[in-house]
Amino acid sequence: MYFDSFHAALVMDGHGAFVWAAYAITAMVLIILLLTPVLRSRRLRRELAGEIRRREMTQTGREGPHASST
Amino acid sequence: MAPGALAFCSRILRRQLVLALRRPVDIGNPLLFFAMVVALFPLGLGPAPAALAGFAPGILWIIALLANLLTADNLFRGDFEDGSLEQLLLSPQPLYLSVLAYTLAQWLVTGLLLALVSPLFAVMLGLSASAIPVLMFSLLLGSAVLSLVGGIGAALTVGLKRGGMLIALLILPFYMPVLIFGSAAVQAVAGGMDASAHLAILGAMLCFAIALAPLAIGAALRISIDA
Amino acid sequence: MWSFFHKLGSPPWLYRIAGSILSWLLPLTLVALAAGAVWGLLYTAPDFRQGNSYRIIYIHVPAAVVALAGYYVMAIAGGISLIWKMKMADVAMKSCAPVGAALTFIALVTGSIWGKPTWGTWWVWDARITSMLILLFLYLGVIALYEAYDNKDAAGKACAVLSLVGTVNIPIIYKSVDWWYSLHQPASIKFTGESSIDPSMLYPLLLMIGSFYALFTCALLMNMRLEILRREARTGWVRKLVGA
């Protein structure tokens, strides 16, 4: 490791705030970039599953009384 | 019997020009816009002649660019709405040349007129007299590039109801090289240097735009019509 | 060869293969990114001219390089979808835009933060920063155009044309901005390139550039999977996938 201590690594001769801020912002943007498709596809799959379940229920509900009447 | 490609293009050109001349207000609007925005700069920057003269090349070029941008949206809109654009795409004529005729007509009533009236505003902003011919010539070349590039944006957004703002976002990045070399040419002459290199690059951009922009406009028009 | 192209055009196959690539590439990318960042931040000597602030190079340069390359990936995918009418190329093109825009944004923000200790201001109209700003505008233009169309099929084609026009224009824009900057450049602010970079600084930089390329691929594949699901929502294989 180049720096003598953890504190020195944080300060970086006065440039620490800039360097760490740049890395923090980058990390944040990358996390958002990678999480967005995960969250969106999870929501989409949930919506699609719900849609399919509802359709199946209405179909069985329609078929049910019809089948019993015959 | 179908007319030849060139005869067809000259018909389009004449038709577009006649349509434009029937609404002289529409031709005057960009010029009026140009005049008004020129008046904004002394109000915003202060009336000091030396400062205004220093900024004049950039100011004049930016306003010409914005005036061109405002007219770009109308290039195909009327013909799209009354269906004649669809007829054009179905016709056996080469789309490349027809599209070129459209943009030429648009340039004649905006870019050419802007270049012709620009000396008036250049004098109002205190641009040195020696730079005025170069200003006009650079505007002539540059506004033709702007019309062609603007045509791409117009063709991409013609099918959209809210195209006005979008077209600016799409094509302004492509206007930037023209702005750089156009205003630099005027600045060079105002600073006592030779501007032929800048004008040559603007000319090269124009050749490039004439060669490629109609292809993109044609492809974009087909997409807009299909949508 | 042809069967490979046919498979590429098949949404379920692409969805599955993208998933299996992601399952090993994504962890690898994250580890490489973390390793490169720690290496650059803690285990390299500071630059003798810029001190420690140069450590931003390890994210700024990779983000800028990949952001620019991403535009070409987008344009090539757009061209393929226009010429061969390949739906999956259209999906790839659409998925490139947000990833590229995010990387361009990172390059701009880190460049601006780097400028503060180096030049004393947050923003300099330097040739590279200005070009990156224009690149961001180009990306945002593609996204705006895509969102403006209700017919997503036409949106993809229109964006493909726009990104191809952008590809032709990017070298012109870059050259003119470069020339414009050299014309107006004050002699005191001169930022020399990395021509004389020390190997000890170069290796972590190369690692980071590689990781950012991998990251671009991961984010692209994830967005593509989402887009495939969205477009194929009415098909049997998605129902089976969701129902299971």
What is the pLDDT at residue C187?
42
CA dist C128 and C192 (Å) reads 12
CA dist B76 and C218 (Å) reads 41
Please give the average per-residue pLDDT across C156-168, as a whole number.
91
Q: List chain C residues with CB under 8 Å of B160.
A: 148-149
B166, containing H or E segment: helix B164-190
In a domain, A52, yes or no: yes
| Cβ contact C167:C93 at 8 Å | no
List subunits contacting chain B, requiring 3 or more Cβ pairs under 8 Å.
Answer: C
Q: What is the pLDDT of residues C170-225, one digit of tens each?
A: 888 888 888 888 776 554 444 444 445 677 778 888 999 999 999 999 999 999 99
pLDDT level of residue B48 (50, 70, 90 thresholds): confident
* In chain B, domain spans: 5-226
Q: List chain B residues with CB under 8 Å of C177.
A: 176-177, 180
* In chain C, domain spans: 13-186+198-236
Q: How far is CA C149 from the centre of its chain?
A: 24
Residue A62 has pLDDT above 80, yes or no: no
In a domain, A37, yes or no: yes
For residue C240, the one-letter residue type is: K
Q: What is the pLDDT of residues B57-94, one digit of tens each?
A: 999 999 999 999 888 888 888 888 888 888 888 888 88
Is A13–C46 a contact, with Cβ atoms under 8 angstroms apart?
Answer: yes
User: For tokens 């002539």, what's the residue?
Assistant: B140
Nearest CB neighbour to C239, from listed A14, A23, A52 = A52
- Tally A–C CB contacts below 8 A: 103
CA dist B51 and C234 (Å) reads 64
CA dist C180 and A68 (Å) reads 82
Q: What is the pLDDT of residues C91-142, one digit of tens each?
A: 999 999 999 999 999 999 998 888 888 778 888 887 888 889 999 999 999 9
Chain B contact for C69 (CB, 8 A cutoff) = no
Residue of C nearest to A27 (CA): C106
Write out the two tokens for C114.
């780097």
Chain B contact for C158 (CB, 8 A cutoff) = yes
Quote the Cα angle for B168-B169-B170, to 5°.
90
In a domain, A70, yes or no: no
| Cβ contact B97:B5 at 8 Å | yes
| Of residues B3 and C172, more confidently modeled | C172
What is the pLDDT at residue B182?
92
Q: Considering its fold, how many domains does chain A have in total? A: 1
Nearest CB neighbour to C176, from listed B160, B169, B181 = B181
B24, containing H or E segment: helix B24-45
C51 - beta bridge partners? C47
What is the pLDDT at residue A56?
82
Residue B142 has pLDDT above 80, yes or no: yes
What is the pLDDT at residue C188?
41
What is the pLDDT at residue C6?
72
| Mean of per-residue pLDDT scores for chain C | 85
What is the pLDDT at residue B5?
82
Interface with chain C: mutation pick from A3, A30, A31, A40, highest number of C CBs within 10 Å: A30
Residue of B nearest to C180 (CA): B180
Is A48–C116 a contact, with Cβ atoms under 8 angstroms apart?
Answer: no
Q: What are phi and psi for residue C47, nearest 5 degrees?
A: -70, 140
pTM of the predicted structure, to 2 decimals: 0.88
| Cβ contact C57:C197 at 8 Å | no
CA dist B202 and B186 (Å) reads 12
Provide, rounded to the nearest whole percent, the portion of chain C with pLDDT above 90: 41
User: Is chain B adjacent to chain A, meaning 3+ CB pairs within 8 angstroms?
Assistant: no
What is the pLDDT at residue C194?
47
Q: What is the pLDDT of residues A4-60, one digit of tens each?
A: 777 777 777 777 788 888 899 999 999 999 999 999 999 998 888 888 888 888 877
Residue C232 has pLDDT above 90, yes or no: no
Chain A contact for C200 (CB, 8 A cutoff) = no
What is the pLDDT at residue C75?
93
Interface with chain C: mutation pick from B176, B210, B217, B222, highest number of C CBs within 10 Å: B176
Q: Which residues, other chains included, contact C170 with Cβ-Cβ below 8 Å and sequence gap of 6+?
A: C68, C71, C135, C138
Is C219–A19 a contact, with Cβ atoms under 8 angstroms apart?
Answer: no
Cα torsion B103, B104, B110, B116: sign: positive
Residue of C nearest to A7 (CA): C42
Helix (H, G, I), strand (E, B) or coil at A38: helix
Chain A contact for C221 (CB, 8 A cutoff) = no
Residue C67 has pLDDT above 60, yes or no: yes
In a domain, A49, yes or no: yes
Instruction: Write the DSSP string, C110-154.
Output: HHHHHHHHHHSSS----HHHHHHHHHHHHHHHHHHHHHH-SSHHH
Interface with chain B: mutation pick from C165, C170, C175, C180, highest number of B CBs within 10 Å: C165
Residue B159 has pLDDT above 80, yes or no: yes
List subunits contacting chain A, requiring 3 or more Cβ pairs under 8 Å.
Answer: C
CA dist A22 and C52 (Å) reads 13
pLDDT level of residue B216 (50, 70, 90 thresholds): very high
pLDDT level of residue C2 (50, 70, 90 thresholds): low
Task: Provide the residue range defining the domain that includes A41.
Answer: 33-60
Instruction: Write the DSSP string, B116-154.
Output: HHHHHHHHHTT--GGGHHHHHHHHHHHHHHHHHHHHHHH
Chain B contact for C164 (CB, 8 A cutoff) = yes
In a domain, A56, yes or no: yes
The ipTM value here is 0.87
What is the pLDDT at residue A65?
52
In a domain, A16, yes or no: no
| Cβ contact C153:B162 at 8 Å | no
pLDDT level of residue C169 (50, 70, 90 thresholds): confident
What is the pLDDT at residue C55?
83
User: Is chain A adjacent to chain C, meaning 3+ CB pairs within 8 angstroms?
Assistant: yes
CA dist B40 and B51 (Å) reads 14
CA dist B152 and B149 (Å) reads 5
